[in-house]
């Protein structure tokens, strides 16, 4: 075929594990995916490809598996591998300040150059989140090109037939080149048979395409359900590589080499977007259902491919407005970043910068099929690093013991009070709950929980449940995680009911003598750290104080009958694992956090946690009836629908005297002895 020019296969893989992920999960990812992929690719020096490893994962692999990383270094030296950079701890660059984008990218580029002898010219964009504001940051950090989805270009009106090379964009006169990742390639590799994938590439060559552009998660090659057997045991990867190398119509190339020899397709300006699935996940449940129905309608009418660029959904930042918990973390992180930036250069340390970078890791800030907002250990990693940074900053630039402002931009101020033991932040709104209660010594936020939200994908869950309430979904062959329905736990209908109030500490509810139930969400501030609400013909007053290493909430009632319930949602690291247990005042251990505990009367309850290396102790005066149970949420992941414990939910029942009564609930944290 003398008139057919070989197509350049630009094959890139992205490897990432979230900051704070479980070591066992990372071990499995390496043994079933990273090692296997590298061992296979090593045997074919002519198969050229690009890699991106997030910096935190790369550090872990260097320390744990130096021989496998030397294998990667050898492939780099012989010109088989091109390295892509990005933010060191995999932040969404659009969600952090310009100064932090620069430092994140520089740290990873320096690391790659030091370890592998190559400084990246290209960058992987976390979750392919594109905002034009990141262009100057990338350029200033030495990046010349990035890869984003072809969908981004379709949304800008580009013709699909032109998306076989890179384009050029600019922001404020700074120029950056953009490669459009092929959605068709993402869905074929590695899910279609290897021979069919090679034939598809040859078909593109015959049509005159310059390049087939692929860059996607390496975890699809061994970690996604069923892919280890498919990719390695059944030999998909070997057959694909050998098929590509044997074809006269396909040549492998790095992005760098292709970029050097081909001219740009021209100028392009992309809208703010991410990959098409992400745009659905960012929408609130009602909007997500409407969007999904519209997409399905267009697919059934066979119009979707022609119209999908105009069915855009939401943007990544919607997660911060949709989930109050993600927004709280984000705004607290931005505060810490500003404090670090304001510190004189002589007082800043590399450790401070590392704490900040780790607190910016993307995974805990969002949720969809992937994304770790629903996973407590990933949120905890953000909080651990954020609080460690603040402790380091406090040591050289102490903050005020008391301050107030609207931290999270929700229209309500928050009051922050500090001592050597706690940072307590009270919301000045109708609930007057704690937004955060962080141990400064243990760098742990006990208020880090997550309410139950309605999720659009619950419709898929409910449809997969039969009349008997048991899962009936099944599929054949190797299915993409996007199409798969599976269950890791038994899910009941009530497990997906959304909370009507935020979950925090000192959430109050009045059970009146007439049998009515009235959430107390109309507190008004009547003095500093004092909140008052009218209850029928009476009133209740709640005051917070921080002293002597204890946070105390004091309640007073006047002419209030019935029962007041005070709810504390306490985030404990062990969740429902083996390391967490309740301890009674007499030393008895009735159960763990994952079980239900009912006490008719108690003055002191200890939540002891081996993962925390400490205990959370609640004392009441007078003694109260206590009910404790796990607060669970339901979420989806590539492995299926699962229930995850978010907090130990403690409910204290107080029956105040109808005339006048007082109650004090105190919290202290006791570290374990070394």
Higher-scoring residue by pLDDT: 477, 363: 363
Whether 166 has a pLDDT exceeding 90, the answer reads yes
pLDDT of residue 640: 76
**Predicted confidence band at 3 (pLDDT cuts at 50, 70, 90)?**
confident
pLDDT of residue 98: 98
The CB density around residue 184, as the number of other CB atoms within 10 Å, is: 14
Whether 2 has a pLDDT exceeding 70, the answer reads no
pLDDT of residue 473: 43
The residue assigned the tokens 């009602």 is 286
pLDDT of residue 103: 98
| Residue 211 · residue 10 · CB < 8 Å | yes
**Predicted confidence band at 27 (pLDDT cuts at 50, 70, 90)?**
very high
Percent of the chain with pLDDT over 90: 88
Give dist(CA 637, CA 617) in Å, integer: 34
Distance between alpha carbon 344 and the CA centroid of its chain, in Å? 32
pLDDT of residue 488: 56
pLDDT of residue 4: 86
The CB density around residue 71, as the number of other CB atoms within 10 Å, is: 16
Write the CB contacts of 406 (distance below 8 Å, at least 6 apart in sequence).
Answer: 412, 413, 414
Residue span(s) of the chain under CATH 2.70.98.10 come to: 414-674
The CB density around residue 482, as the number of other CB atoms within 10 Å, is: 10
| Residue 320 · residue 408 · CB < 8 Å | no
Whether 561 has a pLDDT exceeding 80, the answer reads yes
Write the CB contacts of 1 (distance below 8 Å, at least 6 apart in sequence).
Answer: 206, 248, 249
Q: How far is CA 402 from CA 426, 528, 529, in A?
A: 11, 10, 10
First to last CA, the chain: 74
pLDDT of residue 495: 86
What are the pLDDT digits (tens) for 566-609? 999 999 999 999 999 999 999 999 999 999 999 999 999 999 99
Residue span(s) of the chain under CATH 3.20.110.20 come to: 7-264
What are the pLDDT digits (tens) for 90-115? 999 999 999 999 999 999 999 999 99
Whether 475 has a pLDDT exceeding 70, the answer reads no
pLDDT of residue 474: 40
Percent of the chain with pLDDT over 70: 96
What are the pLDDT digits (tens) for 243-297? 999 999 999 999 999 999 999 999 999 999 998 889 999 999 999 999 999 999 9
Give dist(CA 394, CA 339) in Å, integer: 10
Give dist(CA 634, CA 147) in Å, integer: 33
Whether 633 has a pLDDT exceeding 60, the answer reads yes
pLDDT of residue 480: 46
Whether 472 has a pLDDT exceeding 70, the answer reads no
**Predicted confidence band at 482 (pLDDT cuts at 50, 70, 90)?**
very low
345 phi, psi to nearest 5 deg: -55, -35
pLDDT of residue 673: 81
The CB density around residue 236, as the number of other CB atoms within 10 Å, is: 23
Structure tokens belonging to residue 113: 């150059």
Residue 432 region, left (φ>0) first, then alpha (ψ -120 to 50), else beta? Answer: left
pLDDT of residue 457: 86
Task: Respond yes or no on whether the N-terminal peptide bond of residue 179 is cis (omega within 30° of 0).
Answer: no
The CB density around residue 89, as the number of other CB atoms within 10 Å, is: 28
Domain 414-674 belongs to what architecture?
Distorted Sandwich (2.70)
**Predicted confidence band at 639 (pLDDT cuts at 50, 70, 90)?**
low
- Among residues 671, 211, 251, the alpha carbon closest in space to that of 420 is found at 671
Write the CB contacts of 627 (distance below 8 Å, at least 6 apart in sequence).
Answer: 596, 597, 598, 599, 650, 651, 653
The residues annotated as belonging to the active site are 127, 217
**Predicted confidence band at 641 (pLDDT cuts at 50, 70, 90)?**
confident
pTM: 0.93
Whether 479 has a pLDDT exceeding 70, the answer reads no
Average pLDDT taken over every residue of the chain: 93
pLDDT of residue 503: 94
Give dist(CA 152, CA 155) in Å, integer: 5
- What is the CATH number that goes with domain 7-264? 3.20.110.20
Which sign does the torsion angle of CA 497, 501, 502, 504 carry? negative
What are the pLDDT digits (tens) for 300-359? 999 998 898 998 899 999 999 999 999 999 999 999 999 999 999 999 999 999 999 999
What are the pLDDT digits (tens) for 113-158? 999 999 999 999 999 999 999 999 999 999 999 999 999 999 999 9
Q: What DSSP state is assigned to residue 130?
A: B
Task: For residue 188, give the H/E element and its range.
Answer: helix 183-188
pLDDT of residue 467: 31
Residue environment code for 418-427, b if the CB has 16+ CB neighbours within 10 A, otherwise e? beebbbbbbb
């Amino acid at each position: 075929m003398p008139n057919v020019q070989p197509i350049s296969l630009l094959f890139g893989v992205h490897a990432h594990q979230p900051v704070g992920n479980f070591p066992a999960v990372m071990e499995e990812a390496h043994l079933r995916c990273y090692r296997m992929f590298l061992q296979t690719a090593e045997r074919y020096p002519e198969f050229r490809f690009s890699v991106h490893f997030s910096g935190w994962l790369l550090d872990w692999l260097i320390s744990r598996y130096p021989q496998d990383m030397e294998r990667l270094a050898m492939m780099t030296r012989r010109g088989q591998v091109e390295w892509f950079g990005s933010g060191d701890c995999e932040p969404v660059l659009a969600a952090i300040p310009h100064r932090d984008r620069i430092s994140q990218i520089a740290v990873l580029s320096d690391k790659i150059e030091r370890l592998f002898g190559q400084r990246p010219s290209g960058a992987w964009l976390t979750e392919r989140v594109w905002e034009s504001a990141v262009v100057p940051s990338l350029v200033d950090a030495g990046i010349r090109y990035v890869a984003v989805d072809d969908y981004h270009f379709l949304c800008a009106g580009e013709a699909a037939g032109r998306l076989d090379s890179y384009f050029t964009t600019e922001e404020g006169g700074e120029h950056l080149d953009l490669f459009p990742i092929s959605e068709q390639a993402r869905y074929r590799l590695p899910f279609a048979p290897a021979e069919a994938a090679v034939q598809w590439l040859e078909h593109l060559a015959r049509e005159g395409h310059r390049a087939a552009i692929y860059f996607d998660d390496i975890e699809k090659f061994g970690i996604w359900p069923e892919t280890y057997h498919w990719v390695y045991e059944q030999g998909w990867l070997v057959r694909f590589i050998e098929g590509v190398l044997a074809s006269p119509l396909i040549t492998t190339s790095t992005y760098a080499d292709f970029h050097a020899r081909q001219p740009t397709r021209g100028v392009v300006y992309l809208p703010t977007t991410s990959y098409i699935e992400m745009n659905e996940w960012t929408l609130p449940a009602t909007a997500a259902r409407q969007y999904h129905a519209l997409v399905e309608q267009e697919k059934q009418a066979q119009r979707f491919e022609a119209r999908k660029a105009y069915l855009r959904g939401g943007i990544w930042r919607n997660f911060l407005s949709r989930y109050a918990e993600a927004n709280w973390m984000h705004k607290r992180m931005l505060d810490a970043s500003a404090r670090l930036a304001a510190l004189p250069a002589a007082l800043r340390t590399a450790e401070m910068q590392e704490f900040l970078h780790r607190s910016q890791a993307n995974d805990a800030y969002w949720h969809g099929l992937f994304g770790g907002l629903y996973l407590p250990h990933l949120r905890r990693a953000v909080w651990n690093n954020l609080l460690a940074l603040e402790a380091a900053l406090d040591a050289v630039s102490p903050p005020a013991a008391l301050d107030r402002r609207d931290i999270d931009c929700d229209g309500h101020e928050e009051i922050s009070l500090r001592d050597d033991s706690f940072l307590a932040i009270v919301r000045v709104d109708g609930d007057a709950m704690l937004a955060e209660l962080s141990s400064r010594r243990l760098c742990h936020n006990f208020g880090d929980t997550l309410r139950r939200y309605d999720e659009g994908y619950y419709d898929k869950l409910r449809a997969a449940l039969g009349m008997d309430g048991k899962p009936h979904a099944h599929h054949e062959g190797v299915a993409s995680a996007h199409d798969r329905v599976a269950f890791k736990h038994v899910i009941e209908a009530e497990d997906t009911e959304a909370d009507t109030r935020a979950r925090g500490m000192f959430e109050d509810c009045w059970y009146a003598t007439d049998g009515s139930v009235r959430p107390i969400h109309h507190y008004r501030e009547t003095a500093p750290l004092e909140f008052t609400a009218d209850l029928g013909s009476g009133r209740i007053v709640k005051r917070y104080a921080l002293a002597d290493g204890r946070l105390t909430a004091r309640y007073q009632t006047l002419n209030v009958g019935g029962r007041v319930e005070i709810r504390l949602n306490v985030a404990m690291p062990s969740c429902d694992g083996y390391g967490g247990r309740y301890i009674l005042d007499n030393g008895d251990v009735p159960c763990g956090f994952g079980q239900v505990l009912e006490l008719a009367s108690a003055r002191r309850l200890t939540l002891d946690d081996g993962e925390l290396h400490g205990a959370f102790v609640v004392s009441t005066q007078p003694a109260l009836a206590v009910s404790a149970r796990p607060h669970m949420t339901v979420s989806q992941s590539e492995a299926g629908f699962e229930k995850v414990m978010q907090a130990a939910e403690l409910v204290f029942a107080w029956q105040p005297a109808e005339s006048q009564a007082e109650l004090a609930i105190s919290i202290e944290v006791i570290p374990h002895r070394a």
